[in-house]
Every structure is written in C-alpha cells, then in structure tokens.
Amino acid sequence: MQTYKNKMQQANQTITQQGATWAAINPESVARMQLQNRFNTGLDIAKYTAKIMREDMASYDKDSANYTQSLGCWHGFIGQQKMISIKKHFGTTRSRYLYLSGWMVAAMRSEFGPLPDQSMHEKTSVPALIEELYTFLKQADARELQHLFKEVDDAREAGDQLREQAAQQKIDNFETHVVPIIADIDAGFGNEEATYLLAKKMIEAGACCIQIENQVSDAKQCGHQDGKVTVPHEDFLAKINAVRYAFLELGVDDGVIVARTDSLGAGLTQKIPVSQAAGDLADQYNAFIDGEEVTSLEQMKSGDMAIKQGDRLIKPTRLANGLVRFKANTGEDRVVLDCITSLQNGADLLWIETEKPHIGQIASIVNRIRDVMPNAKLVYNNSPSFNWTLNFRQQVFDAWQAEGKDVAEYRRDQLMSQDYDNTPLSAEADERIRAFQRDAAAQAGIFHHLITLPTYHTAALSTDNLAKDYFGDQGMLGYVKEVQRKEIRQGLACVKHQDMSGSNIGDDHKEYFSGAQALKASGKDNTMNQFAI
C-alpha cells in the first residue's frame, strides 16, 4: 500500500533529481495531489471496480446475505451525494454501486429533450454520463482528502504529533467513493458492431459492468411497457460476444456482462431464425411461435410462409407489420431458455424483467435456471413502475384469504386507499416490502438489487414540496425549514456548497502554485464560515 509518507518520499526524489529548477515544487503538495487523483483514466476505474464486483459475486455465492445494492443516478452530483451519504451513514461503500439507467438517459440527458425509453437518445450520452459520474466521485475523494490534509496541517501547527499521525493514518486507510457502475446499453443501439463500438466507449469511461437486453434494437421498448419484440438467441449472443471482446481488447479481463431478458412480457419476434439441425437454438426458439397447422396448400395465401414445428407444418401468426407472435403462456419457458443460453455463452449475471415484485414468481423461474446453471445470479429491478404498496397489500390479502383468515373488512381493489394505512394488513405488507431485498436474495438468487429511477422521483417530489411552500404562504421559511435546517442538522456536507464545488481544493492549488501571494476564497469573510459542518 502506498502511504502518505511513501508518496512524499517518491515526489521528493523526483524533484531533487531535477535540481534547482524545480526548487519551488513542494513534494508534500505533489503527494497530496496524487492521492486526490488516484484514477488517471476510465480504464483504471473499470479494472479496479471489476475486481470489486467479482469479489462481491464470490462473496454472495458463499452467503446470500452478502447481496449488493444500487440506486439509479441521472447526474454526477446525484451519484456523488449518494456515495458521500453512504460513507457517512455506514462507514464504507462496500457492496453499494451506482446504476446507470437508459430510461433516465433518455428522459433527462438527451439533446432532443425528454424522450421515451426506446433507444432514441444519442448513444454517446451513455458513456458521457459514466464519465460524469466518475468525475464527481473522484471529486468527492479529493474533497474528503483535502479535509484530512487540513487536519494534518492543523495538528502540525499545534505541535500535536499524535493528532498528526492519526490524520495521516486516516489518509493511508482512505476508502474511495469510486464504486462499480452497472451501465445500461439498452439493446446495443444497432447491430453487433455498433454494440461493440459503444461498449468500448462505456468501458473507456469507467464501466466495469454492462447490461444488455434481448429486444430488437430498433424496436426497443421500456421493459414495463407493451409492444416488446425479442430477437433470436444467435443475434443476442453475438452482442454478448461483442461486449466481451470490447472488455478484453481494453484489458478489463474480468469485466461483467448482465444479460437481460424481456421475454416474460414480450409476445413478438421480428424474425424467424434458420435452424440447422433439429433441437438447435433456432429450432427451440421457433417451437414457441404461434401459428395455424397447415394440412393443405389451399390454406396458404400469397405472401404466407410455413415452418416445420416438430412433426407439424404451421403458418406463423403474423401481425400487419410483419412481426410474428409467440404462443400464449410461453413467456416463462422462453425466459428460462434465454437465461440458460446466455450463461452458457459468456454472460455473468441475469436480469429478468417481471411485471410485479413477487418473490415466489422470481424464485420459481430462478430454480429452473439453477437446475442447469447452479451458480445463476440475478440483477433485479426494484422498479418504480411497480405500485409496491398495492402489490404487497394484495399479496398479503391473497395469502390471508388462502389461509382462511377473515378479510371482510378489506376491499382488494381499493387497498391503495389511505383508509388502510394503519391496519394490520398494511403493517404486514410494509414489513414484506422492507424485507424484500433480503428475502429475495436468499430465496430467488438475487445478487444485486437496484432501483432504476429513484432519483428521478426524489427530484420531482422535493421540488414539488419546495415550490408549494416557497411560492405559498411559507415564503423563505419553506426553504429554511424544509431544506437548509435539515441539511445542517442531518450533517449534509453540501450545506457548505462552496466547499462541495471544489473551492477549498482550488485554494490549496493556488497556494501550491503561487505561495504566499495566492488570492484565496476561504478567508474570514466567506459566508460558508457560518456553518459548522
């Protein structure tokens, strides 16, 4: 481990070798700047975080209690504040990641303005957000270390060697805010070459983990919307290969690929793959296609096609736009085949997009996958598209009804009502929600829990509350009482927003570069001195 003193000694050696011309350069200042910039490139970050993620996966395999979590962040500042808060409250960032949501990139980061989650946004906006997130996380490192350097300086000025040593020990044991990002590449934004090119940009920006879905790229839909169209396995596996090649080309040998299947909610395919032999992947895919059995050529019209399905010849059911329909109630079987096939062909983790957060449903699918691939692990979307309150109240209602409990006082279709908030049913539902991640990790193979869009919703909610109060009769008290006072009392570092934006780091640099003549911003007249945080 490179210690503070080691860094200073190395810097001193380099400076001394240059002679008098570098006499103005302070080795301790160099060491500080180096420590504040641990990661020189996005590839440094990708290699560092891939190792962390692999260790976490191995830890989960030993004990399902070691699951990991993340929140989706749409801006670097949001990701930064999340990780600062995690370090403040829990003392470590371990097992906590960031999630980059394609939905939020489309809705909030496109130059076209707000867009639906249909891969219409600029593909370059995805690696740009990865780079932005890590820029802010690195700045969080620099800021916290700057405070520790100040502790060293204050201890020296006071002649307190023990305090100085303690501060140096904190520096030597400093834990970075840089954590893995699971980054959404949608359906690859084109063919396998397009997927490879974008994956490279994402990895170069710092992504150690890329999530890719099996929808048709130019017909991609949000996983919680209708109209989803999947691709044959061969097409999807080519894109998994493309991502793996991108990782290996850039030297991230342990990069992580999350294969997402939307088959549970997708009833259509864009094309019928060509089978080379009975029972191959194309044949298994085609076995799910819906159609009318053909016993006579008279059943065929101009433009119709027929395929052999087992011992039968069928005319596939096609929509007016040419898309082909799958048989009803085959979604779960298709999901299982998708997942097994992806793991057998280079994917590391699975993502199954479900229509509700039901542990029993997820576990029933995962158990079938694990019959073939025992170490199968999921990344699961704890989606805001689910009405969690209603879903879990209905799950409790159904369970109680099945157990013969009296549910006469509850109306199943009205359980979202506030009238039920203080009832035993709602209390049990809330407890199930609270324990959902822990229980799903233990029972349904979920290694990583994420919420895709939480900070989209928190931004909207907090802005609504502030606007209501500030522009209403609360006036300035609406801000002071509900924002600033809470920031101070909860110890939020960003209450000193000048420090958070890098003002004190800049002052240090001015002093390094200009010495005593540096014009610094952090003097006695800086109003940030009003805050004791």
DSSP state letter for 446: E
Query: Beta partners for 455?
Result: none
Q: Which residue among the candidates 208, 222, 339, 494 is catalytic per the annotation?
A: 222
Residue 222 bears catalytic tag: yes
Distances (CA, A) of 393 to 116, 325, 361, 407: 30, 34, 16, 12
Q: How far apart are CA 509 and CA 515, in angstroms?
A: 9
Q: How far apart are CA 57 and CA 67, in angstroms?
A: 8
Nearest 5°: the CA angle 443, 437, 440 is: 15
Output the six-digit token pair for 121.
């946004």
Contacting residues for 138 by C-beta, under 8 A, at least 6 apart: 37, 38, 39, 177, 178
Q: How far apart are CA 247 and CA 201, in angstroms?
A: 10
Q: How far apart are CA 221 and CA 192, in angstroms?
A: 19
Output the six-digit token pair for 65.
């209690």
Q: How far apart are CA 446 and CA 437, in angstroms?
A: 8
- φ, ψ dihedrals at 90, nearest 5°: -120, -10
Contacting residues for 371 by C-beta, under 8 A, at least 6 apart: none
Sheet holding 324-325, edge to edge: 229-230, 268-269, 324-325
Output the six-digit token pair for 293.
């059995």
Q: Give the catalytic positions in this structure.
A: 222
